[in-house]
Amino acid sequence: MKVIIVKIWNKINGITLINDDFLNVDLPNESIDLIVTSPPYNVGIDYNQHDDTIPYEEYLDWTKQWLKKALTLLKKDGRLCLNIPLDKNKGGIKPVYADIVKIALDVGFKYQTTIIWNEQNISRRTAWGSFMSASAPYVIAPVETIVVLYKESWKKLSKGESDITKEEFIEWTNGLWTFPGESKKELDIQHHFR
């Protein structure tokens, strides 16, 4: 008998939430309905166990590894919701969203949609290039993306019972979400307790 060890974060109504290093999780293939993740952005955040400043090509290779694993773990009608930046300019301007979506499609995911998350956070105003000059400005988009991908079938193979209202359905299927992200202070507090 194979023993499966994962860091279970919570269990609610028959749903198991796992918070662990994805590449080290040992679960059976085609056993997961939904993966919701926000991988490291490779912008120098101190994660204690992950180098968040690797060369961009290595970052994309690492991304390809965990996307391949995600695909094998998802059920045929499994979905992946991936919170990633639109782009980044720390360490050189890179189209992170475009590169990661391309990798996901290359490993076998199918694309469903992209939700734009308007965080309303423009705190990074020091990255103006030539400050107050049109010679080399940086465009700053205070948004992140949530890419919705699936394995083989977008339509769920087994029909469940919906428990949301018409209003909730309309609100939650809007492709533009506007609410603030976590503040640096909140992230520092969470990081301290890990």
Query: pLDDT tens track of the chain, all 194 residues?
Result: 333 445 666 677 777 777 777 788 888 999 999 999 988 887 767 766 667 788 899 999 999 999 999 999 999 999 999 999 999 887 788 999 999 999 999 999 999 999 999 988 765 555 555 667 777 777 788 899 999 999 999 999 888 788 899 999 999 999 999 988 876 665 554 443 34
Number of domains forming the structure of the chain? 1
Strands 110-118 and 176-178: parallel
What six digits make up the tokens of 35? Answer: 């993966």
Residue 32 lies in a domain: yes
Residue 61: CATH number of its domain: 3.40.50.150
| 13 within some domain | no
In a domain, 18, yes or no: no
Determine, yes or no, domain membership for 168.
yes
pTM, full prediction = 0.82
Give me the residues paired with residue 79 across strands: 34, 150
Residue 159, domain extent: 23-123+139-192
48-55 long-range contacts (CB < 8 A, ≥24 apart) are 48/194, 49/21, 53/91
